[in-house]
């Protein structure tokens, strides 16, 4: 009798556990949101919305300055340098560079060259030039650069009470190669505050 009762209790316990585990299962809910919209996640670090806003504002400032219209030819040939990351974050600054390259190229005022790029861009451009020379027997003539565009990303952290504020500054400069003069520069700041949750007892 006791043995039968023990088996019954064990079986009941297993069924109850299976029911509880099954009830705890949840399905993930994934949705697509606008990367520039208000539904994107906001964190203390730089997110895609920040990149997009910074790129849009910097490009708008450059175009409104009229510096590109003063180039000796149209479209002006532009070499984009890398963005120096002086923050505590591990950031792929190519996200910002790519957005700016695309926006400037679409205006028709700029032709972006990769022949004087750095890192991976330079390797790709070099291999493309070698392939063209092998196929045509002629060495490609490199385009003279009118401008170089470079930037820097800076972070400043301030704390007061339970609030931490990270201010990210995007700096960008356009240099005329023939003179070495900076013909345009701009910076944009994004301040992000994070409030530490209080611990209740």
The two structure tokens encoding residue 115? 């022949």
Could you give the CA distance from residue 131 to residue 35 in angstroms, rounded to a whole number? Answer: 38
Could you give the CA distance from residue 186 to residue 173 in angstroms, rounded to a whole number? Answer: 7
Q: What is the pLDDT of residue 106?
A: 92
Q: What is the pLDDT of residue 158?
A: 92
Residue 82: which residues within 8 A CB-CB, separation 6 or more?
Answer: 93, 97, 118, 119, 150
Residue 133: which residues within 8 A CB-CB, separation 6 or more?
Answer: 139, 140
> Against a cut of 0.75, is the pTM above it?
no
Per-residue pLDDT of the chain (201 residues; tens, 9 = 90+): 555 556 555 666 666 555 555 555 556 777 776 656 666 666 777 887 888 888 899 999 999 999 998 888 889 998 888 788 898 888 888 888 888 888 999 999 998 886 554 444 444 444 555 655 666 666 655 668 899 898 999 999 999 988 999 899 999 999 998 899 999 999 999 888 888 876 554
DSSP type of residue 55: H
Contact indicator for 173, 104 with CB cutoff of 8 Å:
no
Instruction: Please tell me the class of the 45-195 domain.
Output: alpha beta
Q: What is the pLDDT of residue 7?
A: 59
Q: What are phi and psi of 163, to 5 degrees?
A: -110, 130
């Amino acid at each position: 009798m006791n043995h039968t009762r023990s088996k019954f209790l064990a079986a009941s316990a297993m069924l109850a556990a299976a029911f509880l585990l099954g009830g705890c299962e949840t399905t993930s809910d994934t949705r697509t949101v606008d990367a520039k919209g208000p539904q994107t996640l906001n964190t203390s670090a730089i997110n895609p919305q920040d990149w997009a806003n910074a790129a849009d504002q910097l490009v708008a400032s450059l175009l409104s300055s009229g510096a590109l219209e003063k180039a000796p030819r149209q479209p002006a040939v532009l070499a984009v340098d890398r963005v120096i990351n002086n923050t505590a974050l591990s950031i792929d600054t190519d996200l910002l560079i790519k957005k700016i390259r695309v926006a400037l190229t679409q205006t028709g005022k700029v032709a972006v060259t990769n022949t004087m790029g750095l890192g991976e861009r330079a390797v790709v451009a070099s291999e493309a030039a070698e392939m063209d020379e092998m196929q045509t027997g002629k060495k490609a003539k490199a385009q003279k650069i009118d401008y170089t565009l470079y930037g820097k990303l800076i972070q400043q952290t301030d704390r007061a009470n339970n609030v931490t504020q990270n201010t990210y500054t995007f700096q960008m400069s356009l240099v005329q190669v023939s003179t070495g003069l900076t013909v345009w520069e701009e910076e944009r700041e994004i301040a992000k505050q994070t409030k530490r949750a209080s611990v209740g007892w």
